Structure 1
Amino acid sequence: MATYTHFGKQADVFKHLIFCEVLQNEKPSVYVETNSASAIYRMEHTPEQQYGIYHFLDNADREEVLKNSTYYKMECPEIAKENYLGSPALAMNILGEQTRQYQFFDIEKEALENVSRYADRMKLNTAVQTCNSDSLTGVMELLPSLPASSFIHIDPYEIDKKGTSGTTYLDILVKATQAGMRCLLWYGFMTGDDKTHLNQYIADKLKEAGIHEYTCVELTMNSIRKDTIICNPGIVGSGILATNLSQKSNTLILDYSKKLVNLYQHAEYKSYDGSLYREVLREV
């Protein structure tokens, strides 16, 4: 579990806030996650976490919608116990027994052991399967056996890098989307040049695949620079790409991302401007 240090940072807040609301709305019978990491973490009170989850919880009173969000209600009592819930735990808590199959992929065995222990605690061990392997290959091989009603959570950071199989995580989204499955993909970037490259990569790939209806929203620190990194709160900017979701879920993505920008209006990370700006690249 020690290899994962991303938890509780600002990009996690964006990702998990949206993730919880969408999952609460979609309620799939099959849930697959490509890069699960651990289910639960011990907080470390780093500057990055102060800028992330602690800023969110401390200021959520300013936005009633955020104070009433599924994410806030689930993380607040855990943070009081010095814990942070990762996406596997959030998914298990939201979906529970109504989801008949959970499949978590990760290359870190210790992270998957953490997921399995949490599944036992939730009495979901018979529904939860873990796979200690490269998810680029594993999920691609799994997709043909899944029902169209499945929900695929794709959370790799780098979505344009080919694995040994020659595929990327955006390829997984394309194949799953074409099969009618619901997909939620998160990606990150550190510079303006990275952002521009990914924006074009996503647009070109989806157009080539004939996927025209999707929602894509990014939140980026105003401290981002074109080709240099002046600060590192974990991720300088990140995006969420969603396909085959209900209109309600697409609206939730737009609404909650806007509320998060308001919440970070006067935020700081160390001595840097921690405010965010939002860009809606595509909406259904």
Structure 2
Amino acid sequence: MVTYTHFGKQPDVLKHLVLCEVLQIEKPQIYVETNSACAIYTMTHTPEQEYGIYHFLNEANKDATLKNSLYYQLESECMANGNYLGSPALAMKVLNNDVKGCLFFDLEKGALDNIELFARTQAVTPPIRTLNCDSIDGVLKLLSSLPKSTFLHIDPYEIDKTNNNGHTYLDVLIGATKLGMKCLLWYGFMTINDKQVLNKYMSEKFNKVGIKDYTCAELIMNAIKKDTVVCNPGILGSGILATNLSQKSNSIIKDYSKKLVGIYKDALYQEFDGSLYHDTISKKQNIRIKRHL
């Protein structure tokens, strides 16, 4: 039984909007996803989905770039039938047969079954392989056998939590980055304190291993507080961290995240301020904190 309920929420919009555009630009030979979840979901019009994908589809009509995005086009068609495409489906549709293979990891067998069923229903789909295991160790073991042209989509929420062998998802990104592979990592947080901890963790790890060239874009709900959670639209803040991507992809990440700020400027999540602001890993976090005390 699949228990995932995160689909179609606002953080998915950032993650999947960027993923579709970047995959089309980078055209990898191998696609690897660490936390795949399902390929397709049935929408239920929850408040979180209304604030997420429904708000995006309604407001993106006002912005030509967003309306012409692959994400908008793919989800508009699927949502007309009451369904939402998860990242495995989006990746398969964007890459088609232009990729040699897709590897999907997940701990829930039901999610992997969903991916396999979706792939069988498509007229054109790349060769896929599903792996029902811990993806931190699974990917780390595979890295040395993968070509440099591999693209890793790392999507765990918690990037600093160690597994049984003491490794984290940031370790996966670092290992793949040092091998020259293209990486897109998504992470989330619920308070400003959480954000600070994650930003410090990422900065220190990158400094330790000598990774200086990366792109980071965070979207944060203005309702976020320093150390308390006043509402839960899914996640109050999330970020995209990218390495080894082309300049065009890096620009897309920055530009599209800022465009989402624009279409959410008057948004509400229930009775809460649903507007967003854009941030990144920086030394200016204390300035941000003052507005949320």
TM over 0.5: yes
Q: 1:64 to 1:125 in 2, by over 3 A?
A: closer
Per-residue displacement from partner, 1:58-101 (whole Å, max 9, x unpaired)? 11122111111110000001111000000000000000111111
Query: What is the one-letter code of the residue matched to 2:157?
Result: Y
1:260 is aligned to 260
Q: Is 1:150 equivalent to 2:153 in the alignment?
A: no
1:213 is aligned to 213
Gaps of 5+ in 2: 283-293
2:53 is aligned to 53
Mapping for residues 63-78 of structure 1, pairs under 5 Å: 63-78=63-78
Is the contact made by 1:136 and 1:165 (CA closer than 8 Å) also made in structure 2? no
Is the contact made by 1:39 and 1:118 (CA closer than 8 Å) also made in structure 2? yes
Shift of 1:124: 6.1
Mapping for residues 217-256 of structure 1, pairs under 5 Å: 217-256=217-256
Mapping for residues 19-168 of structure 1, pairs under 5 Å: 19-122=19-122, 127-168=127-168
Per-residue displacement from partner, 1:122-162 (whole Å, max 9, x unpaired)? 25677100000010110111111000110000000000000
Aligned residues: 282
Shift of 1:248: 0.3
CA distance in 1, matches of 2:79, 2:142: 35
Structure 1: which 4+ aligned runs deviate by more than 4 Å? 123-126
The two structures have a TM-score, normalised by structure 1, of 0.97
Is the contact made by 2:219 and 2:279 (CA closer than 8 Å) also made in structure 1? yes
CA distance in 2, matches of 1:281, 1:203: 8
Is the contact made by 1:215 and 1:281 (CA closer than 8 Å) also made in structure 2? no
SS at match of 1:183: strand
CA distance in 1, matches of 2:126, 2:6: 29
Q: 1:267 to 1:117 in 2, by over 3 A?
A: same
Is the contact made by 1:105 and 1:132 (CA closer than 8 Å) also made in structure 2? yes
CA distance in 1, matches of 2:244, 2:126: 28
Query: What is the one-letter code of the residue matched to 1:272?
Result: F
Gaps of 5+ in 1: none
Identity %: 60
1:194 is aligned to 194
CA distance in 2, matches of 1:57, 1:266: 15
Is the contact made by 2:102 and 2:126 (CA closer than 8 Å) also made in structure 1? no
2:287 is aligned to none
